Amino acid sequence: MNAVFYIAAAVAVVSTIMVISRLNPVHALLYLIVSLMAVAMIFYLLGAPFAAALEVIIYAGAIMVLFVFVVMMLNLGPQTVAQERGWLTPDMWWGPSLLAAVLLAALVYVLGSGGEVSVGSRAVDSKAVGRALFGPYLLGVELASLLLLAGLVGAYHLGRRSPDPQQRRGEE
Partner 1 sequence: MATVPLNGVMILAGILFMLGLVGVLVRRNIIFMLLSVEIMLNAAGLAFVAAGSRWGQADGQVMFVFILSMAAAEVSVGLALVLQLYNRLKTLDTDAAARMRG
- # chain residues binding partner 1, by CB under 8 A: 87
Q: Does 56 bind partner 1 (CB under 8 A)?
A: no
Residue selected from 17, 72, 82, 142 as contacting partner 1 according to rule CB under 8 A: 17
Q: Which of 57, 47, 17 is nearest to 35 (CA)?
A: 17
Of the candidate residues 7, 82, 132, 168, the single one contacting partner 1 (CB under 8 A): 132
79 binding partner 1? (CB under 8 A)? no
Considering only residues 30, 34, 56, 129, which one is a binding residue for partner 1 as defined by CB under 8 A?
129
Sites for partner 1 among residues 145-164 (CB under 8 A): 147-148, 150-152, 154-155, 157-159, 161-162
- Closer residue to partner 1, CB minimum distance, 161 or 172: 161
Residues 6+ apart with CB under 8 A from 45: 1, 4, 5, 8, 120
SS3 (DSSP) at 75:
coil
**Whole-angstrom distance, CA of residue 53 vs CA of residue 8:** 16
Burial (CB count within 10 angstroms: exposed 0-12, middle 13-18, buried 19+), residue 160: exposed
**Residue 165 Cβ, how far from partner 1 at the closest point, in Å?**
6
Of 63, 72, 82, 142, the one binding partner 1 (CB under 8 A) is 63
Tell me if 12 contacts partner 1 by CB under 8 A. yes
Q: How far is CA 27 from the centre of its chain?
A: 15
| Distance in Å, CB of 157 to partner 1, minimum | 8
> 9-42: buried (b, 16+ CB within 10 Å) or exposed (e) per residue?
eebbeebbebbeebeebeebbbbbbbbbbbbbbb
Which residues ranging from 106 to 125 are in contact with partner 1 (CB under 8 A)? 107-108, 111-112, 114, 116-124
